[in-house]
Amino acid sequence: MAQPRITLESGNTYHIWTHANGNDNLFRCKDNYRYFLERYQHHVHPVVETFAYCLMPNHLHLMVRVRKEDEILGFLRKKKDKPNLQSLADLGGLENRIVSQQFSNLFNSYTKSINKKYDRKGSLFIPNFRRKLIDSDEYFIRLIAYIHNNPVHHGFVKTPN
């Protein structure tokens, strides 16, 4: 039985990863990587602080900390045109989905662009990006090394640079 997805909560740090559907690649050329990072800056950066990331042709890994509630509120006040929003609880039960929704917006935006550019249809990413809470300093340090060495492990490069 599948475990329920964990909620991305303010102040916590997470390992986020996802993969292309089937044998597809997420990134076919350098411009794809650049464009993804631009979309990441637009959609995800306002709600998370990024410690490490690695984009590979068919999958990606991120280590992020969810921003504090006041930072997320500031973003939402501008984005959602809700200048009177006082707390995330004012969103009526949606407060736990804001960060996940921003990742979803990123993946959907990027997919639409790639589909148009390469005349393809359908989803590019597997459903439901994966996430794991980073609950210790030891795991935090190990994960940075894991993310930066992942392209070597998968044979994309010879050294992690």
Domain range annotation of the chain:
13-153
This model's pTM is above 0.85: yes
Q: 66, 51 in Cβ contact below 8 A?
A: no
Query: Over the stretch 84-114, which tens digit does the pLDDT of each residue have?
Result: 777 766 666 566 688 999 999 999 999 999 9
What CATH superfamily is the domain 13-153? Transposase IS200-like (3.30.70.1290)
Q: What is the DSSP string of 118-145?
A: TT--S-SBPSS-EEEE--SHHHHHHHHH
